[in-house]
Amino acid sequence: MKFDYDLFVIGGGSGGVRAARLASAEAKARVALAEEDRMGGTCVIRGCVPKKLMVFASGYHGHIEDARAFGWRQARSGKFDWPFFHAKLRAELDRLEGIYRETLKKAGVTVYNNRATLVDAHTVMLDDGRRFTAKHILVAVGGHPFKPDMKGAKHAITSNEVFLLDELPKSILIVGGGYIACEFACILNGLGVEVTQIYRGAQILRGFDGEARGHVAELIRERGVNLHVGTDILEIREGDDGFWVKTTDGGHRTYGQVLFATGRVPNTAGLGLENVGIEPGRRGEIPVDDYSQTSVPSIFAVGDVTNRINLTPVAIREGAAFVDTVFHGNPTKPDHELVASAIFTQPEMGTVGLSEEDAREQEPIEVYCNSFRAMQTGFAGRDDRVMMKLVVSQKTRKVLGCHIVSEQAGELIQLAAIALKMGATKEDFDRTVAVHPTMAEELVTMKTPVRTA
Protein backbone atom coordinates (compact mmCIF):
# COMPACT_ATOMS: atom_id res chain seq x y z
CA MET A 1 0.00 0.00 0.00
CA LYS A 2 1.27 3.46 -0.92
CA PHE A 3 0.86 6.00 1.89
CA ASP A 4 0.63 9.76 1.67
CA TYR A 5 3.29 10.07 4.37
CA ASP A 6 5.77 7.87 6.15
CA LEU A 7 4.88 9.61 9.41
CA PHE A 8 1.95 11.75 10.49
CA VAL A 9 2.39 13.52 13.81
CA ILE A 10 -0.67 14.76 15.69
CA GLY A 11 0.42 17.58 17.99
CA GLY A 12 2.97 20.40 17.68
CA GLY A 13 4.45 20.38 21.16
CA SER A 14 8.03 19.63 22.11
CA GLY A 15 7.84 15.85 21.64
CA GLY A 16 5.93 15.92 18.37
CA VAL A 17 8.06 18.63 16.81
CA ARG A 18 11.30 16.86 17.76
CA ALA A 19 10.11 13.58 16.27
CA ALA A 20 8.85 15.23 13.08
CA ARG A 21 12.05 17.19 12.55
CA LEU A 22 14.38 14.25 13.13
CA ALA A 23 12.34 11.87 11.00
CA SER A 24 12.26 14.30 8.11
CA ALA A 25 15.71 15.93 8.24
CA GLU A 26 17.80 12.95 9.35
CA ALA A 27 15.84 9.86 8.29
CA LYS A 28 14.58 11.52 5.07
CA ALA A 29 11.04 10.37 5.77
CA ARG A 30 7.95 12.06 4.30
CA VAL A 31 6.49 13.74 7.38
CA ALA A 32 3.39 15.80 8.13
CA LEU A 33 2.33 17.38 11.39
CA ALA A 34 -1.07 18.73 12.43
CA GLU A 35 -1.51 21.26 15.24
CA GLU A 36 -4.87 22.88 16.00
CA ASP A 37 -3.45 25.60 18.27
CA ARG A 38 -0.16 27.45 18.45
CA MET A 39 3.05 25.65 17.63
CA GLY A 40 5.24 24.84 20.61
CA GLY A 41 2.63 23.20 22.82
CA THR A 42 2.18 23.60 26.53
CA CYS A 43 5.83 24.29 27.34
CA VAL A 44 6.43 27.15 24.93
CA ILE A 45 3.00 28.78 24.81
CA ARG A 46 1.33 28.19 28.20
CA GLY A 47 3.79 26.42 30.44
CA CYS A 48 7.52 26.32 31.13
CA VAL A 49 8.65 29.32 29.11
CA PRO A 50 6.08 31.99 30.04
CA LYS A 51 6.03 30.67 33.61
CA LYS A 52 9.81 30.99 33.98
CA LEU A 53 9.72 34.53 32.58
CA MET A 54 7.08 35.33 35.21
CA VAL A 55 9.31 33.73 37.85
CA PHE A 56 12.11 36.09 36.83
CA ALA A 57 9.78 39.09 36.94
CA SER A 58 8.38 38.17 40.34
CA GLY A 59 11.82 37.87 41.91
CA TYR A 60 13.01 41.38 41.23
CA HIS A 61 11.08 43.00 44.08
CA GLY A 62 13.04 40.87 46.55
CA HIS A 63 16.30 41.51 44.70
CA ILE A 64 15.76 45.25 44.96
CA GLU A 65 15.05 45.00 48.68
CA ASP A 66 18.23 42.95 49.08
CA ALA A 67 20.15 45.58 47.09
CA ARG A 68 19.16 48.21 49.67
CA ALA A 69 20.58 46.01 52.40
CA PHE A 70 23.85 45.82 50.44
CA GLY A 71 24.20 49.60 50.23
CA TRP A 72 22.19 50.54 47.16
CA ARG A 73 20.08 52.81 49.33
CA GLN A 74 18.29 54.57 46.47
CA ALA A 75 16.97 51.34 44.97
CA ARG A 76 13.17 51.37 44.77
CA SER A 77 10.85 48.75 43.28
CA GLY A 78 7.58 50.64 42.87
CA LYS A 79 4.55 48.86 41.41
CA PHE A 80 4.84 46.06 38.90
CA ASP A 81 3.71 47.07 35.40
CA TRP A 82 1.82 43.98 34.21
CA PRO A 83 0.65 45.45 30.84
CA PHE A 84 4.25 46.33 29.92
CA PHE A 85 5.56 42.90 30.91
CA HIS A 86 2.61 41.10 29.33
CA ALA A 87 3.19 42.78 25.96
CA LYS A 88 6.84 41.70 26.01
CA LEU A 89 5.81 38.19 27.06
CA ARG A 90 3.40 37.86 24.13
CA ALA A 91 6.06 39.11 21.73
CA GLU A 92 8.56 36.56 23.04
CA LEU A 93 6.09 33.70 22.67
CA ASP A 94 5.35 34.83 19.12
CA ARG A 95 9.07 34.79 18.40
CA LEU A 96 9.51 31.30 19.81
CA GLU A 97 6.51 29.96 17.91
CA GLY A 98 8.00 31.39 14.75
CA ILE A 99 11.24 29.53 15.43
CA TYR A 100 9.36 26.26 15.85
CA ARG A 101 7.54 26.77 12.57
CA GLU A 102 10.72 27.74 10.73
CA THR A 103 12.52 24.69 12.13
CA LEU A 104 9.82 22.39 10.77
CA LYS A 105 9.84 24.17 7.43
CA LYS A 106 13.62 23.84 7.06
CA ALA A 107 13.38 20.15 7.97
CA GLY A 108 10.87 19.61 5.18
CA VAL A 109 7.87 18.81 7.38
CA THR A 110 4.42 19.60 5.95
CA VAL A 111 2.41 21.45 8.60
CA TYR A 112 -1.39 21.52 8.80
CA ASN A 113 -2.93 24.13 11.10
CA ASN A 114 -5.84 21.85 11.91
CA ARG A 115 -7.14 19.46 14.50
CA ALA A 116 -6.48 15.87 13.47
CA THR A 117 -8.22 12.71 14.67
CA LEU A 118 -7.62 9.00 14.16
CA VAL A 119 -9.77 7.22 11.58
CA ASP A 120 -8.02 3.85 11.43
CA ALA A 121 -4.56 2.38 11.98
CA HIS A 122 -3.09 4.31 9.05
CA THR A 123 -5.50 7.21 8.46
CA VAL A 124 -6.04 10.61 10.06
CA MET A 125 -8.72 13.17 9.30
CA LEU A 126 -8.38 16.93 9.63
CA ASP A 127 -11.22 19.07 10.92
CA ASP A 128 -11.78 20.40 7.39
CA GLY A 129 -12.55 16.89 6.16
CA ARG A 130 -9.26 16.09 4.45
CA ARG A 131 -7.87 12.60 5.05
CA PHE A 132 -4.30 11.42 4.86
CA THR A 133 -2.71 8.01 5.17
CA ALA A 134 0.57 7.29 6.89
CA LYS A 135 2.70 4.23 7.49
CA HIS A 136 3.21 5.42 11.08
CA ILE A 137 1.18 7.79 13.24
CA LEU A 138 2.61 9.51 16.29
CA VAL A 139 0.22 11.03 18.84
CA ALA A 140 1.77 13.86 20.83
CA VAL A 141 -1.22 15.98 21.83
CA GLY A 142 -0.20 16.65 25.45
CA GLY A 143 -2.63 17.46 28.23
CA HIS A 144 -4.75 20.24 29.69
CA PRO A 145 -5.60 21.60 33.14
CA PHE A 146 -8.32 19.78 35.06
CA LYS A 147 -11.22 21.55 36.76
CA PRO A 148 -13.17 19.68 39.44
CA ASP A 149 -16.88 19.15 38.96
CA MET A 150 -18.29 21.54 41.53
CA LYS A 151 -20.71 24.42 41.84
CA GLY A 152 -19.35 27.56 40.23
CA ALA A 153 -16.20 25.99 38.74
CA LYS A 154 -16.89 27.83 35.48
CA HIS A 155 -15.96 31.10 37.20
CA ALA A 156 -12.37 29.98 37.89
CA ILE A 157 -9.41 30.15 35.57
CA THR A 158 -6.58 27.62 35.11
CA SER A 159 -2.87 27.99 34.50
CA ASN A 160 -3.64 28.37 30.78
CA GLU A 161 -5.53 31.61 31.37
CA VAL A 162 -3.04 33.21 33.75
CA PHE A 163 -0.92 34.23 30.78
CA LEU A 164 -3.93 35.84 29.08
CA LEU A 165 -5.04 38.16 31.90
CA ASP A 166 -5.34 41.80 30.86
CA GLU A 167 -4.58 42.88 34.41
CA LEU A 168 -3.51 41.22 37.62
CA PRO A 169 -6.16 40.81 40.31
CA LYS A 170 -5.64 42.42 43.71
CA SER A 171 -6.27 39.08 45.37
CA ILE A 172 -6.43 35.47 44.21
CA LEU A 173 -7.33 32.08 45.62
CA ILE A 174 -5.22 29.24 44.22
CA VAL A 175 -6.69 25.78 44.68
CA GLY A 176 -4.18 22.92 44.61
CA GLY A 177 -0.94 21.73 46.14
CA GLY A 178 1.11 20.49 43.18
CA TYR A 179 4.07 22.24 41.65
CA ILE A 180 1.94 24.39 39.31
CA ALA A 181 -0.19 25.68 42.20
CA CYS A 182 2.85 26.39 44.35
CA GLU A 183 4.76 28.08 41.54
CA PHE A 184 1.92 30.44 40.69
CA ALA A 185 1.31 31.18 44.36
CA CYS A 186 4.91 32.38 44.62
CA ILE A 187 4.91 34.17 41.27
CA LEU A 188 1.75 36.18 41.92
CA ASN A 189 2.78 36.91 45.49
CA GLY A 190 6.05 38.28 44.15
CA LEU A 191 4.18 40.46 41.65
CA GLY A 192 2.17 42.10 44.44
CA VAL A 193 -1.04 40.05 44.40
CA GLU A 194 -2.51 38.99 47.74
CA VAL A 195 -2.34 35.20 47.46
CA THR A 196 -4.27 32.55 49.36
CA GLN A 197 -3.54 28.91 48.54
CA ILE A 198 -5.62 25.98 49.76
CA TYR A 199 -4.92 22.29 49.38
CA ARG A 200 -7.03 19.39 50.57
CA GLY A 201 -4.03 17.20 51.46
CA ALA A 202 -1.89 17.31 54.59
CA GLN A 203 1.09 18.94 52.85
CA ILE A 204 1.83 20.53 49.49
CA LEU A 205 3.95 18.91 46.76
CA ARG A 206 2.74 15.37 47.31
CA GLY A 207 5.16 12.77 45.96
CA PHE A 208 8.29 14.81 46.65
CA ASP A 209 10.62 14.35 49.61
CA GLY A 210 8.67 15.05 52.80
CA GLU A 211 11.35 17.10 54.53
CA ALA A 212 11.99 19.20 51.44
CA ARG A 213 8.32 19.97 50.78
CA GLY A 214 7.79 20.88 54.41
CA HIS A 215 10.72 23.27 54.13
CA VAL A 216 9.21 24.86 51.00
CA ALA A 217 5.81 25.24 52.70
CA GLU A 218 7.36 27.04 55.65
CA LEU A 219 9.36 29.41 53.48
CA ILE A 220 6.56 30.41 51.11
CA ARG A 221 4.38 31.19 54.14
CA GLU A 222 7.17 33.40 55.46
CA ARG A 223 7.25 35.21 52.12
CA GLY A 224 3.57 36.08 52.36
CA VAL A 225 1.57 33.27 50.76
CA ASN A 226 -1.47 32.52 52.93
CA LEU A 227 -1.24 28.73 52.69
CA HIS A 228 -3.90 26.43 54.18
CA VAL A 229 -3.69 22.64 53.96
CA GLY A 230 -6.38 20.13 54.85
CA THR A 231 -8.90 22.44 53.20
CA ASP A 232 -10.90 22.22 49.99
CA ILE A 233 -13.27 24.42 48.04
CA LEU A 234 -17.03 23.88 48.09
CA GLU A 235 -18.58 26.62 45.99
CA ILE A 236 -17.81 29.70 43.91
CA ARG A 237 -20.27 32.51 43.21
CA GLU A 238 -19.67 35.52 41.03
CA GLY A 239 -20.45 38.88 42.60
CA ASP A 240 -20.09 42.56 41.83
CA ASP A 241 -16.75 42.82 43.61
CA GLY A 242 -15.23 39.46 42.72
CA PHE A 243 -15.79 35.79 43.41
CA TRP A 244 -17.25 34.57 46.69
CA VAL A 245 -15.76 31.25 47.77
CA LYS A 246 -16.85 28.84 50.50
CA THR A 247 -14.35 26.28 51.84
CA THR A 248 -14.62 23.06 53.84
CA ASP A 249 -13.13 24.62 56.97
CA GLY A 250 -16.22 26.80 57.27
CA GLY A 251 -14.57 29.89 55.87
CA HIS A 252 -15.84 32.15 53.09
CA ARG A 253 -14.37 35.17 51.38
CA THR A 254 -14.41 37.17 48.15
CA TYR A 255 -11.36 37.15 45.87
CA GLY A 256 -10.49 39.04 42.73
CA GLN A 257 -9.78 35.78 40.94
CA VAL A 258 -9.85 32.02 41.57
CA LEU A 259 -7.32 29.70 39.92
CA PHE A 260 -7.65 25.92 39.80
CA ALA A 261 -4.31 24.13 39.69
CA THR A 262 -5.69 20.71 40.55
CA GLY A 263 -3.84 18.58 38.04
CA ARG A 264 -3.73 17.93 34.31
CA VAL A 265 -5.29 15.24 32.12
CA PRO A 266 -4.29 13.91 28.67
CA ASN A 267 -5.92 15.45 25.58
CA THR A 268 -7.49 12.22 24.34
CA ALA A 269 -11.17 13.17 24.34
CA GLY A 270 -12.46 13.18 20.77
CA LEU A 271 -9.15 11.94 19.40
CA GLY A 272 -10.71 8.85 17.82
CA LEU A 273 -9.05 6.22 19.98
CA GLU A 274 -12.22 4.13 19.80
CA ASN A 275 -11.90 4.04 16.01
CA VAL A 276 -8.61 2.18 16.22
CA GLY A 277 -9.31 0.05 19.27
CA ILE A 278 -7.02 1.79 21.75
CA GLU A 279 -8.40 1.67 25.28
CA PRO A 280 -7.30 4.73 27.28
CA GLY A 281 -6.05 4.40 30.84
CA ARG A 282 -7.75 5.51 34.03
CA ARG A 283 -6.91 9.19 33.54
CA GLY A 284 -7.47 9.10 29.79
CA GLU A 285 -3.83 8.45 28.92
CA ILE A 286 -2.72 6.36 25.96
CA PRO A 287 -1.02 3.17 27.20
CA VAL A 288 2.29 2.45 25.48
CA ASP A 289 5.14 -0.05 25.82
CA ASP A 290 8.80 0.71 26.53
CA TYR A 291 9.23 1.90 22.93
CA SER A 292 6.19 4.25 23.00
CA GLN A 293 4.17 1.85 20.83
CA THR A 294 0.44 1.49 21.46
CA SER A 295 -1.63 -1.66 21.13
CA VAL A 296 -1.95 -0.76 17.43
CA PRO A 297 1.48 -1.46 15.88
CA SER A 298 1.44 1.52 13.50
CA ILE A 299 0.45 4.06 16.19
CA PHE A 300 2.87 5.46 18.77
CA ALA A 301 2.48 8.12 21.46
CA VAL A 302 4.92 10.33 23.37
CA GLY A 303 4.78 13.09 25.96
CA ASP A 304 2.11 14.02 28.47
CA VAL A 305 -0.62 12.14 26.57
CA THR A 306 1.01 8.93 27.84
CA ASN A 307 1.13 10.19 31.45
CA ARG A 308 4.55 8.69 32.16
CA ILE A 309 6.85 11.50 33.28
CA ASN A 310 5.16 14.73 32.28
CA LEU A 311 8.17 16.93 31.65
CA THR A 312 9.20 18.65 28.41
CA PRO A 313 12.74 17.20 28.24
CA VAL A 314 11.27 13.72 28.71
CA ALA A 315 8.85 14.24 25.81
CA ILE A 316 11.75 15.38 23.64
CA ARG A 317 13.77 12.27 24.55
CA GLU A 318 10.76 10.07 23.84
CA GLY A 319 10.30 11.69 20.43
CA ALA A 320 13.95 11.12 19.55
CA ALA A 321 13.84 7.51 20.77
CA PHE A 322 10.77 6.91 18.61
CA VAL A 323 12.64 8.06 15.50
CA ASP A 324 15.65 5.89 16.36
CA THR A 325 13.37 2.89 16.82
CA VAL A 326 11.10 3.29 13.81
CA PHE A 327 13.19 5.09 11.19
CA HIS A 328 16.77 4.14 12.02
CA GLY A 329 16.14 0.52 12.92
CA ASN A 330 17.76 1.01 16.31
CA PRO A 331 15.24 -0.01 19.00
CA THR A 332 15.64 2.62 21.72
CA LYS A 333 13.85 2.90 25.04
CA PRO A 334 13.57 6.43 26.40
CA ASP A 335 15.44 6.55 29.70
CA HIS A 336 13.04 7.41 32.53
CA GLU A 337 15.50 6.67 35.35
CA LEU A 338 16.87 9.44 37.57
CA VAL A 339 15.09 12.29 35.81
CA ALA A 340 15.78 15.52 37.67
CA SER A 341 13.11 18.18 38.14
CA ALA A 342 12.83 21.67 39.53
CA ILE A 343 9.88 23.40 41.17
CA PHE A 344 10.17 27.15 40.60
CA THR A 345 8.78 28.27 43.90
CA GLN A 346 10.56 31.01 45.84
CA PRO A 347 12.98 29.66 46.84
CA GLU A 348 13.20 26.86 44.29
CA MET A 349 13.28 23.14 44.95
CA GLY A 350 15.42 20.79 42.89
CA THR A 351 15.20 17.03 43.19
CA VAL A 352 16.62 13.91 41.57
CA GLY A 353 16.34 10.29 42.59
CA LEU A 354 14.43 8.83 45.51
CA SER A 355 12.79 10.69 48.34
CA GLU A 356 13.73 9.62 51.85
CA GLU A 357 10.33 7.96 52.20
CA ASP A 358 10.66 5.89 49.01
CA ALA A 359 14.29 5.01 49.65
CA ARG A 360 13.72 3.63 53.15
CA GLU A 361 10.97 1.38 51.82
CA GLN A 362 13.49 0.00 49.33
CA GLU A 363 16.52 -0.59 51.57
CA PRO A 364 18.43 0.61 54.68
CA ILE A 365 19.61 4.18 54.18
CA GLU A 366 21.55 7.05 55.72
CA VAL A 367 20.29 10.61 55.49
CA TYR A 368 22.60 13.61 55.34
CA CYS A 369 20.79 16.93 55.66
CA ASN A 370 21.47 20.48 56.72
CA SER A 371 19.49 23.71 56.76
CA PHE A 372 21.28 27.03 57.00
CA ARG A 373 21.11 30.71 56.12
CA ALA A 374 22.98 31.51 52.94
CA MET A 375 25.61 34.25 53.05
CA GLN A 376 23.82 36.61 50.66
CA THR A 377 20.34 36.42 52.15
CA GLY A 378 21.69 36.38 55.71
CA PHE A 379 23.59 39.61 55.12
CA ALA A 380 20.43 41.12 53.62
CA GLY A 381 18.54 40.25 56.81
CA ARG A 382 16.24 37.64 55.30
CA ASP A 383 15.35 34.52 57.25
CA ASP A 384 15.37 32.20 54.23
CA ARG A 385 17.13 28.93 54.91
CA VAL A 386 18.77 26.72 52.31
CA MET A 387 18.25 22.96 52.63
CA MET A 388 20.66 20.39 51.20
CA LYS A 389 19.86 16.68 51.52
CA LEU A 390 21.43 13.43 50.37
CA VAL A 391 19.81 10.01 50.72
CA VAL A 392 22.43 7.25 50.70
CA SER A 393 22.28 3.46 50.47
CA GLN A 394 23.92 1.83 53.48
CA LYS A 395 24.90 -1.21 51.42
CA THR A 396 26.21 0.22 48.15
CA ARG A 397 26.99 3.75 49.43
CA LYS A 398 25.36 5.13 46.27
CA VAL A 399 23.57 8.44 46.57
CA LEU A 400 19.96 7.46 45.91
CA GLY A 401 18.46 10.93 46.09
CA CYS A 402 19.47 14.58 46.22
CA HIS A 403 17.07 17.34 47.29
CA ILE A 404 17.88 21.06 47.33
CA VAL A 405 15.77 24.01 48.46
CA SER A 406 17.50 27.27 47.63
CA GLU A 407 17.80 30.08 45.16
CA GLN A 408 18.87 28.59 41.80
CA ALA A 409 18.12 25.05 42.98
CA GLY A 410 17.11 24.17 39.42
CA GLU A 411 20.59 25.03 38.20
CA LEU A 412 22.25 23.09 41.01
CA ILE A 413 20.19 19.93 40.67
CA GLN A 414 21.08 19.58 36.99
CA LEU A 415 24.72 19.07 37.94
CA ALA A 416 23.91 16.80 40.87
CA ALA A 417 21.82 14.69 38.48
CA ILE A 418 24.92 13.93 36.40
CA ALA A 419 26.68 12.55 39.46
CA LEU A 420 23.72 10.37 40.43
CA LYS A 421 23.33 9.16 36.86
CA MET A 422 26.94 8.05 36.93
CA GLY A 423 26.34 6.11 40.15
CA ALA A 424 28.25 8.41 42.51
CA THR A 425 28.71 7.23 46.08
CA LYS A 426 28.72 9.30 49.24
CA GLU A 427 32.48 8.86 49.33
CA ASP A 428 32.70 10.35 45.81
CA PHE A 429 30.92 13.42 47.16
CA ASP A 430 33.23 13.45 50.20
CA ARG A 431 36.37 13.30 48.02
CA THR A 432 35.23 16.34 46.04
CA VAL A 433 36.84 19.56 47.25
CA ALA A 434 34.32 22.26 48.15
CA VAL A 435 33.97 25.48 46.18
CA HIS A 436 33.98 28.20 48.85
CA PRO A 437 32.04 30.28 49.64
CA THR A 438 28.98 28.76 47.95
CA MET A 439 25.73 27.20 49.06
CA ALA A 440 26.43 24.05 47.04
CA GLU A 441 29.60 23.24 48.99
CA GLU A 442 27.32 21.80 51.66
CA LEU A 443 26.70 18.84 49.34
CA VAL A 444 30.34 17.73 49.77
CA THR A 445 30.92 18.76 53.39
CA MET A 446 28.12 16.87 55.18
CA LYS A 447 30.09 14.08 56.87
CA THR A 448 27.76 12.72 59.54
CA PRO A 449 24.30 11.30 58.86
CA VAL A 450 21.45 12.95 60.73
CA ARG A 451 19.56 9.65 60.85
CA THR A 452 19.45 6.12 59.51
CA ALA A 453 16.43 4.09 58.51
pLDDT score recorded for residue 104:
98
pLDDT band with cut points at 50, 70 and 90 for residue 102: very high
Report CA-CA distances (Å) from 435 to 29, 384, 401: 49, 21, 21
| Best CA proximity match to 34, nearest among 48, 20, 45 | 20
Order across the sheet with 451-452: list the strands: 341-343, 348-353, 399-406, 386-393, 365-372, 451-452
pLDDT score recorded for residue 49:
97
| Best CA proximity match to 157, nearest among 278, 258, 50 | 258
| Spatial distance between the Cα atoms of 305 and 283, rounded to a whole number of angstroms | 10
pLDDT score recorded for residue 436:
97
For 70, phi then psi, to 5°, come to -95, 10
DSSP at 286: P
**What does the pLDDT average to over 43-56?**
96
Is a pLDDT exceeding 90 seen at residue 341? yes
Helix/strand/coil for 378: helix
Is a pLDDT exceeding 90 seen at residue 93? yes
Give me the catalytic one of 136, 155, 228, 436: 436
pLDDT score recorded for residue 370:
98
Contact 180, 292 (CB under 8 A): no
Contact 62, 190 (CB under 8 A): yes
Instruction: Give the ranges where 70-171 is alpha helix by DSSP (H).
Output: 82-107, 159-162
Judge whether 436 counts as a catalytic residue: yes
Burial of 106 by CB count in 10 Å (0-12 exposed, 13-18 middle, 19+ buried)? exposed
Reported as a single tens digit per residue, the pLDDT across 241-299 is: 999 999 999 999 999 999 999 999 999 999 999 999 999 999 999 999 999 999 999 99
**What does the pLDDT average to over 328-355?**
98
The CATH superfamily of 341-452 is FAD/NAD-linked reductase, C-terminal dimerisation domain (3.30.390.30)
Contact 123, 131 (CB under 8 A): yes
Whether the domain at 5-144+265-327 and the domain at 341-452 fall into the same CATH topology: no
The CATH superfamily of 153-262 is FAD/NAD(P)-binding domain (3.50.50.60)
Reported as a single tens digit per residue, the pLDDT across 125-171 is: 999 999 999 999 999 999 999 999 999 999 999 999 999 999 999 99
| Best CA proximity match to 54, nearest among 254, 233, 218, 189 | 189
pLDDT score recorded for residue 120:
98
| Spatial distance between the Cα atoms of 30 and 28, rounded to a whole number of angstroms | 7
Q: Where are the domains of the chain?
A: 5-144+265-327, 153-262, 341-452
Round the average pLDDT of the chain to a whole number and report it: 97
Reported as a single tens digit per residue, the pLDDT across 108-122 is: 999 999 999 999 999
Contact 20, 31 (CB under 8 A): yes
**What does the pLDDT average to over 51-68?**
95
pLDDT score recorded for residue 1:
82
pLDDT band with cut points at 50, 70 and 90 for residue 77: confident
| Best CA proximity match to 40, nearest among 97, 93, 91 | 97
Type of residue at 260: F
Reported as a single tens digit per residue, the pLDDT across 24-33 is: 999 999 999 9
**What does the pLDDT average to over 380-384?**
92
Report CA-CA distances (Å) from 128 to 8, 132, 354: 17, 12, 48
Burial of 427 by CB count in 10 Å (0-12 exposed, 13-18 middle, 19+ buried)? exposed
CATH architecture of 5-144+265-327: 3-Layer(bba) Sandwich (3.50)
**What does the pLDDT average to over 93-98?**
97
Instruction: Give the dihedral of Cα atoms 247, 249, 250, 253; nearest 10 deg.
Output: -50
How many angstroms separate the first and last alpha carbons of the chain? 61
